[in-house]
Structure formats: C-alpha cells, structure tokens
Structure 1
C-alpha cells in the first residue's frame, strides 16, 4: 500500500471515529461554496425592493445556521430546530435566500430521519414540512401550486431517503450480529467436538495402556514363579515386561492433559481388550463391502508394526473416512484404501469417486462436521499430517501421514 493511500485510509478512519469533526468539515465546505453568493450574485430587480441588503448580521446568521450541522449526527433534532430558527430569523429580517440555507435544511431533514428512531424522525419531518411551507408563504413572490408541490416533494423525498438508509443500516448491522453469533456458536461447537474427540481418544489409549499393564502383570507373575527353576525363561519374561512397559509409558504420555470422561456402562467391561488396529482392517473392509460399497485395498512397501496408538488412529481414520463415503458419496461410488510404508512413516489414503464436496460436510451422528474434527485431532495427536478435500476428476480424498514410532 502506497503512503498516499495509507494516509487517506488513516484520515478516513479518524473522521469515522470523530463524527462531529467530519460534520464540522462538511459545514465549512458548504460555507466555502455558498458564501460567495452573498456578495457575487445579485438579487433580481423585481425582488430587490423586497429584500434587505446583505450585511454582517446576515452573514453571521448564515454561518451560525450552517455550522449547526456540526451536531447533525449526535443531536439531529436539535440541529433541525436550529436551522428552522435561523431560517425564521432570516425571513423576518427580509434577507434574500442563499445556497447554504437550502443545503443545511436538506441535510438536517435527512439527518433526523437517518440517525433517530421513527417517532423522533417523524416529529422532525413534520416540523420540517411546517417550516418549509411557512417559508414559502412568507416569500415575497407568489410561488404557485407547482412550486409548493415540488418543494414539499423534495423535503419528503429527502426524509424518506434518510429513513431508508437507517433501515438498511439496521438490517446490515443485524446481519453482522447474526454472523458473529453463528461464528461464536460454530467455534463453541468445534471446541465441544474437539473435547469429545480427545476424550474418546483418551479412552482408547487408556484401553491400550490397560492391556499392556495387564500383560506386564501376567509376565511379572510368571517370572516370579519360574525365577528359581528356569532363569532363562524369567529373563525373557523380564525383557517382555521392559518392552511392553516402554510402550505403555509412551502411550500414557499422550493421555496426560487430555480430558478423561466416564465411560459408558456397556463399554466399562472391555478395558482389558485392546482397541482395533490395522490388523483388523480386513474385517472392516468386508463389513463395508457387505453394505454394497466396492472397496479395494493396496499395501505398498514393507509392512511394519506402528506404535499401538498410531495403529488405533490409522484404523479409526480409515473407518471414519469409509463411513463418510457410505453416507455421502452415493450408491454407485467406489472407494480405494492405500497403505504406504516407509522406514519412518505410514501414509494412509482413502479415496472415492462419489459426490466429492458433499463429503466435506460429513457428520458424526447428529453433530455435523464432528467426523472431520476427529480426524484432525487423531492425526495431530501423533505429530502427523492430514489433507482432506475433493479429488481431481471427481470424488473425495483423505490422506494422512503418521510417524511409525510416535
């Protein structure tokens, strides 16, 4: 942004923050344009005897009347009354009409309609019409019916313009407030979804750790019983305890800081059973095929054993993505699951050729969008990367990279 544009933006922001200063500048502009008329424009000859000559009093009245526009936004009804009183004094002194008077009158009528409610705006409009008609009656020259109708229509039109702009401004303000409320509600819903998903992940990891601790307990008991008779077997059991204990400790670190909610009564008895992993992927795909969705599986690279947490996370990611495909891809869709192993990481890809962007709004039960939130939470928990979006050529794709040893 150039310095000139930046300066204009700063000046505009300052004027918006100080409405009286901007209105005072507007009043000065009206005076600068209209005051020369007092001295440069001559009154028509047939009216020269009806009007008094311009003097300092006339100048002061015009300046005071116009400068009252400084308060047209903060005190619009008071500003309109000041303009009408100034007009009455000018008419009483038989001074000729000027451009600043007309502009100030129209701006005052507009302001009382634009910056006040209907009751105050209507009162201002009635006062303006009364003042306008009294001014035309007191004018030395007979104006005619057409002039009366035209001037009244102008005053009513300016008032209606101000009222319409006020209603539009209120409408846009309501839209902005509604959008802000929806954004806050969406943020609250997303936070609730993250907390719920983290709680679910914590329960699953708790089951993994509980399973490993159970194995450690059994191995420790066996080592104690055979320590004297079979030292080699006891050493092997102790090595197993050490390995399983390190795995359990690694998974336990991931539970720290994650909210642990009370589990459901029907799942409370399954703590000693490990969560499903990639070893159960064949059973999952068979179940999906039974629903009518064609699914193919590719495994690339040398299969390696990931950490138990990554194993569960990758399985749940595939399960969630295929569930979304079943719900949103359409009856004729096909799906592909790819597992690509390297020495350091595991890449999981789930793609379909269904409706594409409709899957972006995949839902988890009655909570729209929570499935995608869960995917992001799982992948982020293990320091992985996730990309979700439409495929080139149609369909939808999910691609996640997990480190094998998180």
Structure 2
C-alpha cells in the first residue's frame, strides 16, 4: 500500500495502473485459491471413495473367508456322515448276518451242550460288537451337521441378495434341535424369497440358559394371512392362504416342546423357541 500512497500523491495515472495491477493479482489469487480448494475437495472425495472401496473389499474378503471355512467344515461333516453310513451299511450288515448264522448253528447243534455254549459266547461277542458299532455310528451321525455351517449354506443359496447369519453359540445344540432349527430356517427363507420377494434377511440363533431361539426376519411383503391375529394364534393349513410350510414349521418346533411365533412388525419375523430340558 505504501507505493500506491506515494503514487497517488505523485501521478494519478500511475496510481490507477497500480490499482488495476493489484486488483488483477487479487483476482488471480482468488481464482487460484478456489482451484486449490476444489482440488482439496476432489482429493478428499477420492480418499473417501478409496476408503469406502477398501472397506467393501475387506468385508467381501471376510465373507469369502467365512464361506470357505463353512464349505471346508461342511465337507468334513459330510465325509464323516458318509463314513458313518458306510460303517452302518457294511459292518452292521455283516455283524447282523453273523448273528443270524450263530442262531442257526445253535438250533442245528442243540444236541451238543458244549458247542451250544461256545456259540452262545460267540453270539454275545458279536452282539457287543454290533452295539458298539451302532453307538459309534450314532455319535458320528449326531455330529454330522453343524448349525452355523448349515445356516450359512442356507443363506448363501436361498435367493435373497443379503442374507446375514448370526450364530455365535458356544455350545452346539443337540442333533434334533439342530435339524429342527435348520428346517425352520430353510422354510422361512424360502417363503421370504419366493412369496415375500425379500431383498434382505436376518437369521439369528441365541443360546439362553433355558432355551434356544431362532429368529428369521426379512424385509419382504407380509402375506395376507399373517395380518389375521386369529390365524397367527392358531394357524391351520390352507386357511386364507396359510401354507403347509408354516404348519410344518410349527409341528417341528412343537414336537420338541417349543413354540413358533410369527410377527409382522417392524418386519415379518419367524420366531422359534425350544426349551433345553426337553432336548
């Protein structure tokens, strides 16, 4: 400002020129400042977009790793079940045939007490072997289905874009409960995809001290029959559109002493509760 003040006292034309130059510089600086601000905004937008993409990729990688773990676990359980069935069908059949042959030999040699006694001991040994084999096969078959694995496989193939599973139970339910919960979840997800046109579903298993609870919720359309309180309290197959699938879910849960509830708010939800003392 000092040169401008001196110029104003000396030569007015020079002062005008200096003022124009300063105005041009100020305008240029303003333009540059705006460009810098826009560049910073663009950089921040790019950074935020990259962070979002990285987060999405990390979530996708996590889901893929979880799916791989579930597939590995499912393959191991399927192989265990196959071995159990082969033992049951192969060794079990042979031991059963041996018992029949021993019984036939006892009848054929009933006149020889010593031989009959030997055959009786063979029969007892074969019967113990058959019982042990059946117990082993039963134990293998009971562990042949993992609840978390089964639910995640159902969610992956149910036809709903986003089907999320939360099954963090530290103790796996008994095999009958696992089969029941998987069957209910399968029917609920199938109905949500086929009839409700759901885009998102939530499957949750909670392990309480006295009971297990399965919750299957979705954002699809609520069926007409579900709006009737009377049908929800006492569903009957075929009534006002109520299908056999819903009645089947209720029958499965009730066979284990549990209850099945259907909620329509805030979203359509199938709620299955199974007490532990009955399982």
Q: TM-score range by the shorter chain?
A: 0.3 to 0.5
**Normalised TM-score (structure 2):** 0.43
TM-score, normalising length: structure 1: 0.31
Higher relative contact order (CA 8 A, sep 6+): 2
